[in-house]
């Protein structure tokens, strides 16, 4: 008898959600994690000063709370101590001229904030909202994907479906400029495409901008009380309560294959862990096909496709511990907003993305300023301040500085380069947050190289599991030679940000694979259908 029914490599949110669904259904589950924490890119720690709890990688959970995994597991997780907090001010953009625009939690307010076009946009969106959100929760390369397409054809007709698909591929720039007159509205919504791994001039970025805008109005910006790791903790406890195992410090270096079928894994320490029904790998294609599998075990075309898999822009994070809360200039609501983007607007985001993709440090990067204390004051000592800064428009190999100010040396992310670039970002923020530098207790900067070293799936500091250009997105994610989650090796499944529906904390890929594994065998489904005909 095998050690487990399913062995899961990596402990990111997709792994834990998949493991929880399987364990709750009676499967014997084992999750193996190479780091010393469970949760992958969900990790909370006091990395600046004692008592300041920072979400070191990912930080915000709207995709989880709005996703299928939370709908199924939410009550079980709440029973294990997970509590979500939310806000009426999910996001805003602070412009260099001191003005700001806000996205609120109700439509009437957004019509005043964003523009009179907002209600018309919602009116066009809602009739097919199930299709818009459904495409993100469907295994596209499967019978479910065909059924989803058939549903769309029945509702929209062939011409209507063609129009829907065309809108799906629209750029954010085109959608924003066609929908809203106000440039401040453009500047409010455009930065959100960065959180999907895209830029405002990329195919499908308009669809993602629209979906995110509606999701933020409806769902806000929920976070767990006490830090993002509380989600991982609750999922791990749920797995363990149903007899599963979750281990840290275990580096898997090989998926074991016999006669074309995955039978388990081997660890770097030489231990073999066998799996009766599935091996589930939450890794990048690079890890899966160049490390965990032998080239002879998969078709040559798949190996070549994995080698051509491209990673996207790099990310940097800056974590601030402050002696007092940040005080923004201008609109006082900025002091209560969960996420504030600092950018000149749509063209500013576009320019920074273009510079990064050409290998340059952007002269005026889009700064994502996360303010978790506006929702959860327990994350820092009373009366103190804490900021989570994300920069998503950086190159892995630095060819130069678009501003012509910094010597990039050999083009690698050295300690000197990351600190000097962080100084530029801090100086820009200090113009909008006058007490930033006077209240600074400690600053911790995580460069793309730091992020890759801390989490092997953050290849080149890319937090989104690979570039999301059209040939690595939708039906073709992770890549055209191996779309979907099933692999060329029987009983080996591929999940995580590199697979559909892509990055984020929604646990979409882990949930889709769990649902597929929990389906009864075809013979049992046929019997059930026949019985239904005579009941």
From residue 512, alpha-carbon distances to 187, 276, 363, 467, 516 in Å are 34, 20, 41, 21, 6
- Quick one: residue 57, left, alpha or beta (phi over 0 = left, psi -120 to 50 = alpha)? alpha
Residue (of 92, 86, 95) closest to 65 by Cα position? 86
- What confidence score (pLDDT) does residue 71 get? 97
Instruction: Give the model's pLDDT for residue 533.
Output: 46
DSSP three-state, residue 65: helix
Taking CA atoms, 495 is separated from 209, 343, 349, in Å, by 24, 34, 30
Name the residue ranges covered by the structural domains of the chain: 4-45+54-83+227-309+464-523, 112-210, 310-454
8's CB contacts (< 8 A; 6+ apart) are: 15, 18, 19, 29, 30, 31, 32, 279, 280, 281, 282
- CATH topology for 4-45+54-83+227-309+464-523 is FAD/NAD(P)-binding domain (3.50.50)
- Residue corresponding to tokens 């994502």: 368
In eight-state DSSP terms, residue 366 is: P
User: Could you say which residues of the chain have pLDDT below 50?
Assistant: 526-527, 530-531, 533-534
User: Reduced to 3 DSSP states, what percent helix, strand and coil does the chain have, rounded to the nearest 5?
Assistant: 45, 20, 40
What does DSSP assign to residue 328?
Answer: -
| pLDDT single digits (tens) 209-247 | 999 999 999 999 999 999 999 999 999 999 999 999 999
Find the radius of gyration of the CA atoms of the chain.
23
Q: Tell me: the pLDDT tens digits for 60-114?
A: 999 999 999 999 999 999 999 999 999 999 999 999 999 999 999 999 999 999 9
The DSSP bridge partners found for residue 273 are 265
Selection from 423, 415, 402, 425 nearest residue 447 by Cα? 415
Helix 229-241 to helix 13-24 angle (10° resolution) is 30
> What is residue 526's predicted lDDT score, i.e. its pLDDT?
47
Question: Is 19 strand, coil or helix?
Answer: helix
pTM given for the model? 0.96
> How far is C-alpha 238 from the chain's CA centre?
22
Whole-number pLDDT of residue 494: 98
Using alpha carbons, select from 520, 518, 474 the residue that is nearest to residue 499.
474
């Amino acid at each position: 008898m095998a050690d487990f029914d399913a062995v899961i490599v990596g402990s990111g949110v997709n792994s834990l959600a998949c493991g929880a669904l399987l364990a709750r259904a009676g499967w014997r589950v084992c999750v193996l994690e190479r780091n010393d924490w469970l949760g992958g890119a969900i990790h909370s720690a006091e990395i600046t000063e004692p008592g300041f709890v920072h979400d070191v990688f990912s930080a915000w959970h709207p995709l989880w709370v709005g996703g299928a995994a939370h709908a199924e597991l939410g009550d079980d997780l709440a029973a294990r101590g997970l509590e979500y907090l939310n806000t009426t001010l999910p996001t805003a953009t602070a412009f260099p001229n001191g003005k700001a625009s806000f996205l609120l939690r109700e439509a009437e307010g957004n019509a005043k904030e964003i523009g009179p076009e907002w209600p018309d946009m919602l009116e066009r969106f809602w009739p097919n909202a199930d299709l818009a959100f459904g495409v993100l929760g469907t295994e596209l390369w499967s019978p479910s994907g065909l059924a989803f397409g058939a549903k769309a054809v029945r509702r929209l007709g062939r011409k209507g479906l063609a129009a829907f698909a065309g809108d799906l591929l629209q750029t954010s720039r085109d959608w924003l400029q066609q929908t809203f007159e106000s440039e401040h509205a453009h500047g409010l919504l455009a930065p959100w495409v960065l959180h999907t791994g895209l830029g405002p001039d990329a195919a499908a970025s308009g669809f993602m901008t629209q979906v995110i805008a509606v999701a933020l109005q409806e769902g806000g910006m929920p976070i767990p009380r006490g830090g993002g790791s509380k989600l991982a903790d609750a999922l791990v406890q749920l797995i363990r309560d149903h007899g599963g195992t979750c281990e840290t410090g275990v580096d898997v270096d090989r998926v074991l294959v016999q006669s074309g079928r995955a039978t388990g894994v081997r660890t770097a320490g030489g231990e073999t862990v066998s799996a009766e029904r599935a091996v589930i790998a939450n890794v990048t294609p690079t890890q899966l096909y160049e490390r965990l599998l032998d080239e002879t075990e998969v078709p040559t075309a798949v190996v070549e496709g994995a080698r051509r898999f491209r990673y996207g822009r790099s990310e940097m994070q800056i974590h601030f511990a402050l002696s007092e809360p940040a005080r923004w200039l201008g609109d006082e609501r900025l002091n209560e907003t969960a996420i504030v983007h600092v950018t000149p607007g749509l063209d500013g985001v576009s320019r920074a993305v273009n510079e990064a993709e050409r290998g340059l440090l952007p002269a005026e990067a889009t700064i994502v300023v996360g303010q978790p204390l506006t929702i959860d004051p327990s994350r820092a000592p009373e009366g103190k301040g804490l900021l989570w800064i994300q920069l998503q428009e950086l190159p892995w190999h630095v060819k130069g500085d678009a501003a012509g100010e910094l010597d990039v040396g050999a083009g690698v992310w050295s300690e000197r380069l990351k600190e000097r670039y962080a100084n530029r970002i801090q100086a820009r923020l200090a113009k909008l947050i006058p007490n930033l530098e006077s209240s600074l207790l400690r600053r911790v900067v995580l460069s793309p190289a730091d992020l890759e070293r801390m989490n092997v799936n953050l290849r080149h500091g890319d937090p989104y599991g690979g570039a999301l250009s059209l040939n690595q997105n939708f039906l073709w994610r992770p890549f055209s030679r191996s779309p979907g989650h099933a692999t060329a090796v029987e009983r080996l499944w591929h999940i995580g940000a590199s697979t559909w529906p892509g990055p984020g904390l929604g646990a979409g890929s882990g949930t889709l694979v769990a649902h597929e594994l929990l389906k009864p065998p075809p013979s049992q489904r046929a019997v059930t259908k026949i019985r239904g005909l005579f009941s």
